[in-house]
Amino acid sequence: MASPHTEIEFLDGPQSRLSEFKFATKVLIEFIKGFRTLHFVGPCVTIFGSARFKEDNKYYQDARKLGAGLAELGFTVLTGGGPGIMEAANRGAKDVGGKSVGCNIVLPFEQKPNPYLDKWMDFEYFFVRKTLLIKYSYAFVICPGGFGTLDEFFEAITLIQTGKIEKFPVVIFDDGFHSNIIQHINKMIEEGTISSHDKELFLVTSVVSEAINFIKSKTETGFGLKYKPKKWLGESKG
């Protein structure tokens, strides 16, 4: 745990120019390492979700099926690299012999790389990690999660809405869990803070096959990706 003195320094506002330069250099180095690690892993689909769900949880099991289905289309499954939903999605990709990659955030609790990753990188800065999770993906799946998952969802959807990135398909997975978020999005439309057309930027579903078919269709028509079923002779692990 950081000492009280460290916390005061962190919250102290602008630092010396040398300190700011060192910080900027560390960020740049982390970006470069990320570019080198992820440059050849795609095309990816990023699956966001909570680190806290266990193997027997329905959301974990659904994320595993999502990972498997996307990997069978030929996508690399990209996650935050940790446990829970992230582990499940990466595990699903490995179940069918697909590619599995993670961008792990270094935290004093809760997060460490899951064992189903072909390749991963540890990140110190959330914003660097989030940028790379978005940069290398053709689609995003928002599974049940907490503050971090919602942050990642709204970051991606804002970049799409404002034209900063392409109109990549976004799936909000499990309409039951996200019912209040959908209700709030409808409220924003009602109040005029977003356009009614913004609801066309994402699909809400709790059906794995519907999510996978939506991503397949949108990436084929929008980005020219060619669907090529993965040749794999085994059966998914239970």
Q: Would residue 155 count as lying in a domain? A: yes
For 15-46, letters b (16+ CB in 10 Å) and e give eeeeeeeeeeeeeeebbeebeebbeeebbbbb
Residue 160 belongs to a domain: yes
In a domain, 4, yes or no: no
**Residue 74 within a domain:** yes
- 76 in a domain, yes or no? yes
Q: How many CB atoms lie under 10 A from the CB of residue 156?
A: 24
How many CB atoms sit inside 10 A of residue 114's CB? 23
Q: Is residue 229 part of a domain?
A: no
Q: Which pLDDT belongs to residue 107? A: 79
Is 169 contained in some domain? yes
pTM of the predicted structure, to 2 decimals: 0.87
Structure tokens, 136: 């290398």
> Looking at residue 1, what is its pLDDT?
42
Looking at the structure of the chain, the number of domains it has is 1
Residue 207 lies in a domain: yes
Angle between helices 17-38 and 126-135 in degrees, nearest 10: 30
pLDDT at 4: 45
CATH value at residue 128: 3.40.50.450
3-state secondary structure the chain: CCCHHHHHHHCCCCCCHHHHHHHHHHHHHHHHHHHHHHCCCCCEEEEECCCCCCCCCHHHHHHHHHHHHHHHCCCEEEECCCCCHHHHHHHHHHHCCCCEEEEEECCCCCCCCCCCCCEEEEECCHHHHHHHHHHCEEEEEECCCCHHHHHHHHHHHHHHHCCCCCCCCEEEECCCCCHHHHHHHHHHHHHCCCCHHHHHHEEEECCHHHHHHHHHHHHHHHHCCCCCCCCCCCCCCC
pLDDT along the chain (238 residues), means of 10: 45 77 93 92 94 97 98 96 96 97 83 90 92 96 97 97 96 97 97 96 97 95 75 41
Structural domain containing residue 134: 32-219
